[in-house]
Structure 1
Amino acid sequence: MTCADAILNWCIENQIDLSKCSWTIGTFRSHFYTMAALINPSYPFAMKNNTGLAFIRLGDGEMMLMFGISVQSIDPWSWHGGQSRLGQDLIKALHYPKYQYNAFSPFYYGIYDAKDICSFHKFLTMIYQDPKYLTYTNLFVNTNYPATKLLHRSLIRDHRKKIILIINNETSSAKLAELNEWACEILLYPHNGPLMWENNEFREQAIEKIVTTAKRYRNRLFSFSVGPLSRVLIHHAWLENPFNRYIDFGSTLDEMTKNRVTRPYQSNTELNQDPTYAINFDANKRLFQVSTLN
């Protein structure tokens, strides 16, 4: 069942007129605290081995790949346009209904209004997940970034040698040695993942590497920062072993892993103010739309 279908069914079950159908995602800040508590659970929940978590964030790059639009990323990767293997794999991951039936290891999607790429209605009908597992794609950045940095510090303190880093292979050897002081393991992937993903051998090896690693651990944190590859790799890791936490931290790891600012929000957290989303249904057009509450 897609997110769109789930919201409509919820309205019908609760006898809500479809013309008044509205689903509020929740505030940008409150969702951060909810996700942070799931990522870094307190004792004794942190000791449980029968739960997990996954969180992928869908941004412009991923959406453009899925819809065959050319991309020139702020990171050193690009796509010339047209159908891509990675874009197709991203779509397949969104369509995976098994995510809906694993409350012990919830799979969260970070979404946004991709109106310049596709309609919000189409976006919702692509995602097979209960809407309660929708959150913001910008959850860790902008005004939440200072809190995200505190989260990273607490994770390193509380889970020393229990964190698997999945980062780009441009990281210097000196920095890797520093990261290895607290990371359990570091997996390196290339920056130009979308182009390399077209090579079937590379694709299979990339998936095999994350699957093998996921199988080896339990109750560990996997911190991803490899661009669009993160979303597909998390999908395969979760399928292999849902009893870990697979989190797409994206560029929020850059200052820690690259020792430099790579995004404007890292030096000016007030640059972008993130609104609270409300999902509304236009009963006349039979379409879902998104609006902002602040």
Structure 2
Amino acid sequence: MININITCGDAILNWCIENQIDVSNCSWSIGTFRSHFYTMAALINPPYPYSINNNTGLAFIRLGDGEMKLMFGISVKSIDPWSWRGGQSRLGQDLKKAIRYPKYQYNAYSPFYYGIYDAKDICPFHEFITMIYQHPKYLTYTNLFVNSNYPATKLLHRSLIRDHRKKIILIINNGASSKKLVELNDWACEILLYPHNGPLMWENNQFREEAIQKIVTTAKRYRNRLFAFSVGPLSRVLIHHAWLENPFNRYIDFGSTLDEMTKNRMTRPYQSNAELNHDPTYVINFDA
């Protein structure tokens, strides 16, 4: 479990100071792990009348251990059923291209956020942060939806299902049972399935092209819809291509926080932390 709640913010601010970047309006200078979550939750599920605005969008991708190791050619054995042997990977190269795309930082009507952490054991933080072509105000925590924020994330999920029934596109792994897919189709307007071992399969050009084409075609069909991603490292690259095709949707990398809902089982330690789930301070009204 990554503990980045303080170190990441400190590293961001130090980098901004050293590079003489104005952070007076940057949430890193005044924000906390919890307040970052509130800000993102409000963007994901905006109140009326903003919720019916068809001329805005949002994207949020999270770069964790697995993505960082793929980008730097380090072997990975994930808690999920995917792995990488080490060395340069096609997915790692595509991840680097995604975070270097310069248009993001100029797109106010459809902001593109990155969840990051201070991966000292993989690469120097300054090297990593300079790879991202984005203003620090669009950077947040990679574990924004998990750990102590997970109970609030589950409330956010319920709110989204209630407020956007049949307006949510789910992008999940293909391990869901037929019974579970029927259940999910009750509130999702479309479900896209991708294989678990995406990094290895991404080496196949045909698979890569078909995977990108599937998300691009789907993104093009909709406007002002929520795309909820939970397909591991593939999520980051797929969101990049979907946003390029149509920035007028919300593309959110929810990661493993969707597992209890889509797999009917817990896949991470934070999901079974009874102390967090019974903390009354997490009773949040997202309709306020």
Q: Which residue of 1 aligns with 2:44?
A: 39
Which residue matches 2:8? none
2:167 partner amino acid: K
For 2:19, the aligned partner's letter is L
Separation in 1, partners of 2:274, 2:255: 16
Question: Displacement of 1:113 after TM fit?
Answer: 1.1
Alpha-carbon distance in structure 2 between the residues aligned to 1:230 and 1:7: 32
AA in 2 matched with 1:174: K
**Structure 1 residue ranges (4+ consecutive) displaced by more than 3 angstroms after TM superposition:** 3-7
Pick from 194, 202, 220 the counterpart of residue 199 of structure 2.
194
Offset of residue 7 of structure 1: 7.3
Q: 1:223 to 1:269 in 2, by over 3 A?
A: farther
Cα deviation, 1:26-62, whole Å, max 9, x if unaligned, reads 2000000000000000000000000000000000000
Q: Which amino acid aligns with 2:94?
A: D
**Matches for 1:132-147 after TM superposition, within 5 Å:** 132-147=137-152
Aligned residue for 1:163? 168
Q: Which residue is equivalent to 2:90?
A: 85
In structure 1, the partner of 2:283 is none
Larger Rg: 1
Which amino acid in structure 2 is aligned with residue 77 of structure 1? Answer: W
Aligned to 1:70: 75
Aligned to 1:8: 19
Superimposed CA distance per residue, residues 50-84 of structure 1 (whole angstroms, 9 cap, x where no aligned partner): 00000000000000000000000000000000000
Task: State TM-score, norm by structure 2.
Answer: 0.87
- 1:61 and 2:66 aligned: yes
The equivalent position to 1:50 in structure 2, one of 43, 47, 55, is 55
Query: Which amino acid is the alignment partner of residue 207 of structure 1?
Result: I
**Structure with the higher fraction of residues in strand conformation:** 1
Specify every segment of 5 or more residues in structure 2 that has no aligned partner in the other structure, as ranges.
1-11, 277-288
Of residues 93, 96, 101 in structure 1, which corresponds to 2:101? 96
| Percent of residue pairs bearing the same amino acid type | 85
AA aligned opposite 2:34? R
Q: How many residues align?
A: 261
Q: Rate the CA distance shift 1:68–1:269 in 2: closer, same or farther, 3 A.
A: farther
Q: Is the 8 A contact 1:54 1:238 kept in 2?
A: yes
SS at match of 1:171: coil
For the residue of structure 1 that corresponds to 2:265, the secondary structure is coil
State the shift of 1:186 in Å: 0.1
Shift of 1:270: 5.8
1:239 equivalent to 2:251? Answer no
Offset from partner CA, 1:136-175 (integer Å, 9 cap, x none): 0000000000000000000000000000000000010000
2-structure distance, mates of 1:41, 1:180:
23
Q: Secondary structure at the match of 1:76?
A: coil
Structure 1 unaligned segments of length 5 or more: list them: 15-22, 272-294
Higher helix fraction (1 or 2): 2
Opposite residue 35 of structure 1, the aligned amino acid is M
- C-alpha separation between the residues in 2 aligned to 1:201 and 1:234? 19
Closer, same or farther in 2 for the Cα pair 1:95/1:81, shift >3 Å?
A: same
Q: What TM-score results when the alignment is normalised by the length of structure 1?
A: 0.86
